Amino acid sequence: MGGNGKCYFGTDGIRGRVGTAPITPDFMLKLGWAAGKVFGGIGNGRNKILIGKDTRISGYMFEAALEAGITAAGVDISLLGPMPTPAIAYLTRTLRAQAGIVISASHNSFHDNGIKFFSGQGAKLPDSIELAIEAELEKEMTTVPSETIGKASRVSDAAGRYIEFCKSTIGPSLKLTGLKIVVDCAHGSTYHIAPDVFEELGAEVGAIGVSPNGLNINKEGGSTMPENLVRQVLESGAGLGIAFDGDGDRVIMVDHGGRIVDGDEILYAIARNRQREGLAFGGVVGTQMSNLGLELALGDLKIPFARSPVGDRYVMQELAERGWGLGGESSGHIIITDLNTTGDGIVSALQTLAAIVGFDRSLAELCRGMRKFPQSMVNVQIADGADPTARPAVRDAVSKVERKLGGNGRVLLRPSGTEPVVRVMVEGEDAERVEALANELSELVAQQA
């Protein structure tokens, strides 16, 4: 069950294991038809929906099913082929489509797949549209008269359009000449785009994770497993490494010494450079999981900082409410609202490279202004429906740990939205102490569960 009374749509579309409902061809056929019915009533003249996908093997199957359903509803389709999620958001806007569909399970393995929708403005759908699609799913599927069946065409220059867009986000004068970069595309949807972007800007690029076979997406590489990238950077003597996830909306970097640079540090580098350039962005939105070091480092720069619940949807909501322009998560999901309408791994990497060139410093030097605090996270199994975080004994224990940490630490208890687990996170200056306090607190949570 999704949120807000929705049966299928979760916080990030519809996702699950391939072959298990609702991630089945028959459901995708009906979903395409339902989406066609809803979007077919929006706008004037002939309506159009874009479909793009990542590189997992089931993408072809679901693309064909969605295509059949959408055309049966009398709506045209433009097929983009394998494309990063942010590229689909961008092309939905520039090709004036009513909606864009992404077939992807992001950083999950090939066993999973999912569907994400973008509105004609390249934004996530409002609840009202998702509920309207779910209402159509309850109806019997019909086909429009033959003369009004939708047509499908392929956008042959989709990759080239997006490459040019990415390059345009850093201005015409920036060159990466002399910079040696290793790029890990996780055998995902950036494999035929990211290396070209950096090469065309003058960098010397060593590309890994660029041989997708349908089964190897996110396997032993990419932003969730950067160890291989670390090894390649050190062995090749590169200036830095860049890792994307399977659908290209996240980025993690590695400095020349092999140290992993996460989304918090990337946010810091971008914010610092934007301040240097005099670009107004209001402030930075992180999440409850963002490192305390980011908050303190931005404070030193007099840049306002706010936290949202975990999830890019909530970061985006907080940015919109505050009118700010920069936000993101430790996982490398960075949102820069004046450049794209969703997290964009390649664009975020380019903004970080622009900071490196602008400050004339290495990635390691650029991040030195932010000291990351040690974090310890323990997952505590709980019974379905239980919420030990509300119990007085747990609240008292949290207050005690916070007092022990003084002003330089945080405690966060967060029930998972997807499994019967409470995540206990403690953050502070001393790693051993932080770990001991996290274990102590998690034991109490387990007793109260």
How many residues in total does the chain contain?
449
DSSP label at residue 249:
S
Q: How far is CA 410 from CA 209, 318, 405, 420, in A?
A: 37, 21, 7, 23
Peptide bond into 195 cis (omega under 30): no
How far is it, in rounded angstroms, from Cα 118 to Cα 367? 34
Longest dimension (CA), the chain: 73
Tokens of 256: 């020349």
Burial profile 345-376: b = 16 or more Cβ within 10 angstroms, e = fewer: bbbbbbbbbbbbbbeeeebbebbeebebbbbb
Check residue 331 and give left, alpha or beta (phi > 0: left; psi -120 to 50: alpha): alpha
How far is it, in rounded angstroms, from Cα 91 to Cα 100? 8
Q: How far is CA 84 from CA 88, 261, 295, in A?
A: 7, 22, 30
How far is it, in rounded angstroms, from Cα 325 to Cα 18? 36
* Catalytic (active-site) positions: 106
356 closest CA partner among 213, 242, 200, 231? 242
Beta strands of 236-328 (E only): which ranges? 240-244, 251-255, 260-261, 284-287, 305-308, 326-328
Residues 6+ apart with CB under 8 A from 99: 35, 39, 49, 50, 92, 117, 118, 119, 120, 125
Check residue 80 and give left, alpha or beta (phi > 0: left; psi -120 to 50: alpha): alpha
Q: How far is CA 12 from CA 16, 119, 320, in A?
A: 11, 14, 18
How far is it, in rounded angstroms, from Cα 66 to Cα 71? 8
